[in-house]
Structure 1
Amino acid sequence: MEKLLYEASLEGNLNTLLMLLQEDPLILDRVTLDRHGDTPLHIASMLGHVGFVKEVITRKPHLAMERDSQKRLPLHIASAKGHTEIVKLLLSANPETCNARDCDGGNPIHLAAIKGHYEVVRELVQAQPQAARAMVQHETILHLCVKHNQVEVLKLLIESLRGDHEFVNTKDAYGNTILHLAVADKQVQTINFLLLTTTIEVNATNMNGETSMDKLAQVARDLKYQQILQSLTRAGAVETSIQGPVRRVYKNSRTKTSLDGFNYHNQPLSPQYLRGELTENDDWLNKKRSSLMVVASLIATMAFQAGTNPPSGVWQDDGSSNDPLHKAGFAIMPSNHPTLYHIFLICNTVGFVSTFSIILLLISGLPFVKHRVFLWVLMVIMWIATTSMSITYLVSIWVLTPTPQSSLVFKRVAIGITGVWIALMTLLVVGHTIRIIAVAFKKFEKLVLPRKRIILSPLVINHAAEI
């Protein structure tokens, strides 16, 4: 009979249920007494068999309080599945089941909110409004809605809890408000709703001291990033931990003053000002280092190939004993052009060693590789490498090109073009050298010359002291 009862709950067969109850009126109680897993009411609630659930609740309303192995009531399962009619039936049996917790600490309204079952959430909130305020693992139901991107359910809950400023700004175990989570996940619609219709604190900080604007700085910059940035800026959001010209931004204040004496006269600091120059320099340096790594690897490969396969190739057999340079595997070029071969070998080796040095310095991980001065040093080394490879190319062309008059003209043109290119590169290196000397001189001048005293207003001093 128990097997028939479970089959009836799976199929939602009301006739079989009535027949079994007629033969044994206590069969439902006996099943719940002997088993610790899903009861027939759990199964019917999961599968949405409204008639079956209604008959069981009518005859045995106390079965709505029976738990399965995960401590879930039938209301938990019906809420998670979004069966609104069954939720109404179970609530009519016992409205207190809204507050029941499963093994994870969640009540039925938590499960319905996570799944986005709007109508079920509305029924549960109307039955037991306080159930929506229950915390689960240090998170409110609003945190769960944002984490699972259930915007409509979030709107319903906030409207039902209208005026509860403290609950809307509740923080999770890491100190994050729902605005922190929405910004981190780039939920534009949720962010706009929170900023326009709630009393969310835009500059609330988490356990790491980060505001919503700090969270935004950690995500990828795309169209959503721009939309969120505009919304947060209009709402007066600021960053709290900035390294650079602005040492610190004081939260919860529209008038921002830094400890360096900058007064912004009742104007909120622009995120573009705070983030632009501070990250642009680092991005520029990273791109330059990446470009240098690629170019250095390419030139090193070229130099290695030229060294192992010199112009004119190598001898394929041994010559006479009178010519010690004519040996199988030896380069042909030393026999025909000994002076040019020495120039070729020196320049090619300089180019290889220079670029290999650049690669080693870039992958060393030393702290000084992040400065512009180091980048200038790498640029000088790269200039040496490219100039050496240019001379190597000229020597190779000179050796491989025949000697008629037309070829002589070609050689001269090649030498002229390469010479102009080397001269241009030299001018660039000299220009950068002059520029870096000027920057270094300015910094030295600031260190040596006495600084001007900055007179701060009493308002600024008092504000800094309070912070």
Structure 2
Amino acid sequence: MEMDPRLREAAETGNIDALHVLIRDDPYILERVDQIPFIQTPLHVAANQGHVSFAMEMMNLKPSFARKLNPHGFSPMHLALITGQTRLVLRLLKADKDLVRVKGWAGLTPFHYVVTTGNSRLLVSFLEASPECIEDVTVRDETAFHLALKEDQIEAFNILIGWLQRTRRTHGSVFSFEKKMANWEDDEGNTLLHIAAKKEQRDALKLLLDSQLWLQVKAKDSDGWTALEIIKKANRRGVNINRNTSDEVDTKIKQLKDKVTCERIRVLVDRTRHSMPVDMINTMLVIMALVITAIYQSSLSPPGSVWQDNDTAPDPSSNTTSTYHLSNKNIFNTSISIFNESGKAGKTIMNPHMYGLFWFLNLATFGFTDLVTVFLLSSFHLFLLLAVPLYMLVISYFCSMTILAPTVTWAYLNLFFLVLFGIFPFLLLFVLLVFSKSIRQTMAEIRYRSRMREALGMKFRGPGALMFCSQYILDGIFGLWMPSA
């Protein structure tokens, strides 16, 4: 069954008035077309001919036509792309951004078609309008990344990788989405590395190795080959790996193709923020602020107060428990003799054994609260500005505990923590690096990547190496805070 010839003629000529006349004569003329599963609707015809006004009027009257497939498996947006009707494509995108995800034959969406044809401007527009389209796969389980490599659209692949590194999307944890897309396998077990190696695409391989830390470099395809083995096999044949570059691209396209450096931090912070409800973050920050205030105050005014003068206990009935009145003759001595035994002015009068229990509980609470607060503050763009005062508060805390310590041993212990936290920011990256992955696994991955670079004739030195190391550190930090599912 086909649509009314008069309706087809109106669509072919773009005659909106004729369409209105047909509807007045037969109010169900469009409804009958909509009841047929696969049919060339008036919107298909208008999209094929490039009649923008008629197509938009049809979208207004019958939006369901935009998602119907014709007998050849194309939606109206598919046809507009095939015939090069860019203006109509953008109008349809503006009317309904999800049209880029309509699947045609073999599961190919308009977004997939744009990737395979290498239209960089439309590719960026589709990603901005509907970021979810990056997750759509064909019936062969191919993502847009697979299609770009299989069709030798290296520029489109560069844009997709750049978008993947910058996206704020998360699937339960900070890195789960990026890991999933970078290591996706099609129905033949081919990852992006396998396809790039088989297609002998040097630029794509270099981009993957430089930008994607979480690549499964040892993964095997359906034939049992790893990407490195495929590369070595191609090198033995003496095949020259082709390069594919583009001279003229828009600013947004260039930006997506550039290597991700400092922007990586902001991306990971945003992913963390999206992984936690805002109400929960706000509530926990309020609670943590109250706990930190109470604990810090206890370091200034420990239980029982402090000695007011050498070997002179404070008057319990006085209200000066938090004020330390030192005699003039002891001001200098106290300031330089913080390791004197108890009984000296400015030292806590607490029994050293009770002080130990107080110190442990106080430090455990203060430390845990600070760590939770740092984690919560990392969800905001001004994390560093918010973290610096908190870091200085920790230093001040240990300064106070060092001065008030009742014995030399406790003073030295507090001084140790003071020095430790003084250099803590420099030790943090190393510690997180060790605990985020095992040393053996990390070295094995680096060696395997080095072998792949050597097989491709690539150097590990320079900006690529710096980017790999910096990204490993960043991924280690955020992976420890928000571990993958």
Query: Considering the TM-score relative to the shorter chain, is it more than 0.5?
Result: no
| TM-score normalised by the chain length of structure 2 | 0.43
Q: Which has the higher contact order (CA 8 A, sep 6+)?
A: 2
- Which structure has the larger Rg? 1
Q: Give the TM-score normalised by the residue count of structure 1.
A: 0.44
